[in-house]
Structure 1
Amino acid sequence: MNELESVQLKDRILEYLLENDNSKAEKVYKALDNPFNNFEQFRIVAQDMFIHHHKYFKIRQGFQFDENDSGKIYYITNLTKSFIEVGGFTAIYDQKERDLLIEQKVKKASDKKTLYWWVPITISALSLCFSAYAISRNSIGVTQKEIKEVNNKIDSLKSNFKKENDKLKSRIYEAEMLIAVYENDSI
């Protein structure tokens, strides 16, 4: 049984108890068409509900009439009905899945942000290396015109890198705003 099926079973248990009031564990198990191959697995799910969400679900020890009777009685609290009305355990599961998806998107955006930061720096470093190589190779016959051309190219590259950097900054800002909107929507 996967996690989604487990939370749906927990909701079914609470819904059954809302309709039928306090019930013995075996009766709930049979009423839900024996959702597991054995009763012990069902009891573990119910125990997990009690441990982690005891404000919606309670277990108490009843009388044991024979060895096949666990003597456990499941019952609801005054908060159970409103909990089921807002979606119950399935709503909690869905919210957790949405949060996980947002977290993955944020991580992916963060990884891209790091990549975009290194691109202009790498291009700048390479262009400086090529320029230095070209200047050192032709150091004897360099004219004033050639120096101006190189300076113009460097200025042009700087301008292009600045534009690219500004574009990337605006995309990062947009991503941060989207993240903020997702965080506000999830609350």
Structure 2
Amino acid sequence: MKGRKRAELKNKILEFFINDPVHLFPTETLWNNLGKPVSKLQFQEVLDEMVSVGGRYFLQTVNSPFKSYGYNDLTQDYLDIGGFVNQYESDLEADEQLFKLESQNQRINDLTEENLKLVNRLSKQKLKTHVIPIVISGISALVAIGSLLYMIFKPETSTNIKELKQMEQRLNYIEGTLSNEVDSLKNKLYEAETLIEVYESDTLKVG
């Protein structure tokens, strides 16, 4: 059992606690009362996950080698906001957002590389003759800094989805700025190469 169904089983366990808030239940009892939805080993894995991810929303006691679980004051409130299903959906959304950020960062890296290549070509053209005024932008530095910040503060799946959205907005700005700069550099390179052709042609005629 995986994904949403696994999260739904976790919520059913919480609902079982709410229906009998007085008692604590060992794994065997929970497993039987919930209709043995998975193997006993898998059921214990589900309970262990619940403790790891949302252990403060229900009681757990360990009387070696037995574990028991039950209701606490936060159980109902947690279910009211969706419980483990809501947590699963939030994690899923965060994973999708992280994938988008990874793809976006790769596009930025590709654009940065293209930008640097264009700058180098323009620099070489400028060396050919000093009569061509070429202005090379410092946008590459901005983009490099933005990409570096992404790698330093690279978000994890536990990061708040709001923070991931904010990171996406910052990367959108960087990507858009860099894309415009690449287009501008391409135009400058075309103009420079055209002027150089004219300049070299006039030089040959003079010679």
Determine the structure 1 residue equivalent to 2:95.
100
The Cα of 1:132 is off from its aligned counterpart by 0.7
The Cα of 1:119 is off from its aligned counterpart by 2.1
The Cα of 1:91 is off from its aligned counterpart by 1.0
Change (3 A) 1:80 1:30: same
Q: What is the one-letter code of the residue matched to 2:37? A: P
The Cα of 1:79 is off from its aligned counterpart by 0.5
Establish whether residue 82 from structure 1 lines up as the match of residue 77 from structure 2: yes
Determine the structure 1 residue equivalent to 2:179.
115
User: For 1:77, what is the secondary structure of its paired residue?
Assistant: coil
The Cα of 1:18 is off from its aligned counterpart by 0.9
Q: Please say which of residues 114-123 and 42-51 is displaced more in the overlay.
A: 114-123
Q: Aligned residue pairs: how many?
A: 135
Q: What is the one-letter code of the residue matched to 1:26? A: E
Change (3 A) 1:99 1:20: same
The C-alpha deviation readout for 1:60-116, integer Å capped at 9, x for no partner, is 2469xxxxxx74322121100100011101112222223333444455556361434
Establish whether residue 34 from structure 1 lines up as the match of residue 68 from structure 2: no
Unaligned runs of at least 5 residues, structure 1: 64-69, 143-187
User: For 1:131, what is the secondary structure of its paired residue?
Assistant: helix
Establish whether residue 11 from structure 1 lines up as the match of residue 6 from structure 2: no
Change (3 A) 1:50 1:105: closer
Establish whether residue 129 from structure 1 lines up as the match of residue 130 from structure 2: no
**Residue pair 1:56, 1:83 contacting (<8 A) in 2 also:** yes
Q: Separation in 1 of the partners of 2:104 and 2:180? A: 11
User: For 1:138, what is the secondary structure of its paired residue?
Assistant: helix
Determine the structure 2 residue equivalent to 1:72.
67
Change (3 A) 1:123 1:3: same
Q: Separation in 1 of the partners of 2:33 and 2:191? A: 75
**Residue pair 1:60, 1:74 contacting (<8 A) in 2 also:** yes
Determine the structure 1 residue equivalent to 2:140.
none
The Cα of 1:8 is off from its aligned counterpart by 1.8
Q: Percent identity?
A: 19
Unaligned runs of at least 5 residues, structure 2: 109-174
Determine the structure 1 residue equivalent to 2:61.
60
